[in-house]
């Protein structure tokens, strides 16, 4: 087999594995196997997960041949079951196969893994394929973009990612690093904070809960996401958060918002905008002086050449192709269509054009996917 033939086999196998893992993740099979904690037969895994044994068996075939779960067996003999470990077994004897999710795999595949959870990302490509395959194929010919409404389940998926990412790190690790701890001190005393492209409000609600003396405003143009954010605020009993359905490219022009916020955040939101420059200019206008804007966005270079050794290059460019770039183009195809891999050089260019002249690019030990563009006024 040539190197490229082997690579093609890997591509086909890993693509298939991703699809099956996404189904397993969604149905909590990894959690069920983690809870079992040892080799178990199909029936036990089926009972623990509450799922059909025939489907579980086929799924375990993917997981075992793909090296996600380990396999063993026990002989089925007349006086009952006896574990035979990994020894050879003679032909004709019945044997029951047993499966185990190793602890070190569970630590990256289950919801309990928190910020280390990579399992959640297996859902991304299958989800985007369901939402947008036809529209993206059409876009290749027409150049048109795709509206956000094509991705109905996307916001809840983003919330899962935000949950996984933010719950463990936002308040304890990320915020203490902003502006050398000055933002954290301000949050404790009471400042005004705005999150642009807040989605379902996971990050903002977490901050509002931790800093009751500060006031928080979330802005997103997706009404469903804002409704979910407001419901969570109510469920959490928070009185210091407001959510607005607004176009981020226009809010900077609202008189009430000029110089209003001491701290503004945008988590993974700027590259999805159809008018990112107007949004950044608006943020500049909304920021008080002194003030800090934290733009957390993908950690990449701006050219394909720069990203050739990016460990997640094909994955991230595919997510961009299936979602970020077409939504950024807008329905008429006239938006900027930055795409998720717009990269540092382009980001610095737009931030500079928007009036952010002092920008620190900070790597985040807890989040290898993203980088923190810390933009300060009156530094
Ligand atoms: C990738 S999601 C990130 C959501 C959230 N910040 C998080 O980390 O979970 C991008 C968000 O930007 C929002 N968005 C896109 N264009 C927008 C616009 N013009 N005005 C306001 N929000 C926008 C989308 O609705 C979406 O919620």
| Rounded distance from Cα 43 to ligand 1 centre (Å) | 43
| Rounded distance from Cα 159 to ligand 1 centre (Å) | 11
Looking from the CA of residue 272, the nearest atom of ligand 1 is 15
Looking from the CA of residue 155, the nearest atom of ligand 1 is 27
| Residue of 184 and 117 predicted with greater confidence | 184
Residue 85 has pLDDT above 80, yes or no: no
Summarize the confidence of residues 151-178 as an average pLDDT: 82
- For residue 15 the two structure tokens come to 């693509």
Site to substitute for ligand 1 among 166, 199, 223, most atoms within 8 A of C-beta:
199
| Rounded distance from Cα 199 to ligand 1 centre (Å) | 5
| Rounded distance from Cα 112 to ligand 1 centre (Å) | 26
The pLDDT-based confidence of 161 (bands split at 50, 70, 90) is: confident
| Rounded distance from Cα 47 to ligand 1 centre (Å) | 39
Q: What is the pLDDT of residue 79?
A: 45
Tens of pLDDT, residue by residue over 216-244, are 999 999 998 899 999 999 999 999 999 99
Q: pTM score, two decimals?
A: 0.90
Looking from the CA of residue 202, the nearest atom of ligand 1 is 9
Ranges in the chain annotated CATH 3.40.50.150: 113-377
Ranges in the chain annotated CATH 1.10.10.10: 3-109
* Residue corresponding to tokens 């080799």: 39
| Rounded distance from Cα 358 to ligand 1 centre (Å) | 25
- Tally DSSP H helices, then E strands, for the chain: 14, 11
Looking from the CA of residue 165, the nearest atom of ligand 1 is 8
Summarize the confidence of residues 240-254 as an average pLDDT: 96
Residue 113 makes CB contacts below 8 A (sequence gap 6+) with 106, 107, 119, 164
Q: What is the CATH number of domain 113-377?
A: 3.40.50.150
Q: What is the pLDDT of residue 77?
A: 54
Site to substitute for ligand 1 among 205, 220, 274, most atoms within 8 A of C-beta:
220
The pLDDT-based confidence of 54 (bands split at 50, 70, 90) is: very high
| Rounded distance from Cα 269 to ligand 1 centre (Å) | 5
- Of the listed ranges 89-98, 253-262, 323-332, 342-351, the least confidently predicted one is 89-98
Tens of pLDDT, residue by residue over 95-132, are 899 999 999 999 999 999 887 889 999 999 999 999 99
Looking from the CA of residue 161, the nearest atom of ligand 1 is 9
Q: What is the pLDDT of residue 329?
A: 97
Q: How far apart (Å, rounded) are the C-alpha atoms in residues 54 and 289?
A: 63
The pLDDT-based confidence of 80 (bands split at 50, 70, 90) is: very low
Tens of pLDDT, residue by residue over 280-339, are 999 999 999 999 999 999 999 999 999 999 999 999 999 999 999 999 999 888 999 999
The pLDDT-based confidence of 89 (bands split at 50, 70, 90) is: very low
Task: State residue 316 phi and psi, 5-degree precision.
Answer: -70, -40
Q: What is the pLDDT of residue 115?
A: 76
The pLDDT-based confidence of 94 (bands split at 50, 70, 90) is: confident
| Residue of 88 and 95 predicted with greater confidence | 95
Pocket (CB within 6 angstroms of ligand 1): 148, 158, 162, 197-199, 202, 219-222, 225, 247-249, 267-269, 272-273
Residue 87 has pLDDT above 60, yes or no: no
Q: What is the pLDDT of residue 379?
A: 57
Q: What is the pLDDT of residue 166?
A: 84
- 8 A C-beta contact, residue 264 and residue 179: no
| Rounded distance from Cα 45 to ligand 1 centre (Å) | 38
Question: Exposure of 333 by Cβ count < 10 A (0-12 exposed, 13-18 middle, 19+ buried)?
Answer: middle
| Residue of 149 and 25 predicted with greater confidence | 25
Tens of pLDDT, residue by residue over 360-369, are 999 998 888 8
Percent of the chain with pLDDT over 90: 82
Q: What residues are paired with 297 via a beta bridge?
A: 371
CATH class for the domain made up of 3-109: mainly alpha
Q: How far apart (Å, rounded) are the C-alpha atoms in residues 122 and 283?
A: 33
Residue 83 three-state SS: strand
Site to substitute for ligand 1 among 196, 252, 272, most atoms within 8 A of C-beta:
272
| Rounded distance from Cα 330 to ligand 1 centre (Å) | 13
Nearest CA to ligand 1 atom 16: 273
- 8 A C-beta contact, residue 232 and residue 207: no
Looking from the CA of residue 162, the nearest atom of ligand 1 is 9
């Amino acid at each position: 087999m040539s190197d490229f033939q082997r690579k093609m086999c890997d591509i086909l196998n890993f693509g298939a594995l991703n699809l099956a893992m996404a189904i397993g993740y969604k149905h909590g099979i990894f959690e069920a196997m983690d809870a079992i904690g040892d080799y178990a037969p199909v029936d036990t895994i089926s009972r623990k997960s509450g799922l059909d044994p025939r489907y579980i068996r086929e799924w375990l075939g993917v997981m075992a041949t793909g090296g996600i779960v380990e396999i063993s067996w026990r002989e089925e003999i007349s006086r009952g079951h006896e574990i035979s470990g990994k020894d050879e077994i003679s032909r004709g004897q019945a044997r029951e196969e047993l499966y185990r999710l190793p602890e070190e795999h569970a630590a990256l595949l289950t919801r309990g893994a928190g910020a280390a959870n990579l399992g959640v990302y297996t859902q991304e490509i299958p989800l985007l394929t369901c939402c947008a395959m036809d529209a993206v194929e059409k876009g290749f010919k027409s150049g048109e973009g795709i509206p956000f409404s094509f991705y109905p389940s996307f916001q809840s998926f983003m919330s899962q990612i935000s949950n996984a990412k933010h719950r463990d790190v936002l308040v304890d690790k990320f915020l203490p690093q902003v502006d050398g701890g000055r933002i954290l001190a301000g949050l404790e005393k009471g400042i005004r904070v705005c999150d642009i492209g807040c989605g379902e409000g996971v990050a903002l609600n977490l901050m509002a809960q931790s800093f009751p003396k500060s006031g928080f405003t979330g802005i997103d143009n997706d009404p469903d996401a804002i409704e979910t954010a407001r419901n969570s605020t109510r469920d959490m009993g928070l009185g210091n958060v407001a959510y607005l359905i607004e176009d981020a490219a226009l809010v900077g022009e609202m008189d009430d918002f000029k110089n209003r916020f001491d701290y503004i955040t945008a988590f993974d939101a700027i590259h999805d905008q159809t008018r990112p420059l107007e949004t950044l200019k608006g943020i500049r206008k909304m920021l008080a002086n002194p003030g800090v804007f934290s733009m957390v966005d993908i950690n990449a270079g701006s050219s394909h050449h720069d990203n050739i050794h990016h460990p997640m290059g094909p994955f991230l460019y595919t997510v961009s192709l299936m979602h970020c770039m077409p939504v950024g183009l807008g329905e008429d195809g006239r938006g900027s269509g930055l795409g998720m891999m717009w990269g540092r050089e382009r980001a610095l260019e737009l931030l500079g054009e928007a009036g952010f002249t002092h920008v620190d690019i900070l790597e985040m030990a807890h989040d290898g996917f993203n980088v923190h563009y810390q933009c300060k006024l009156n530094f």
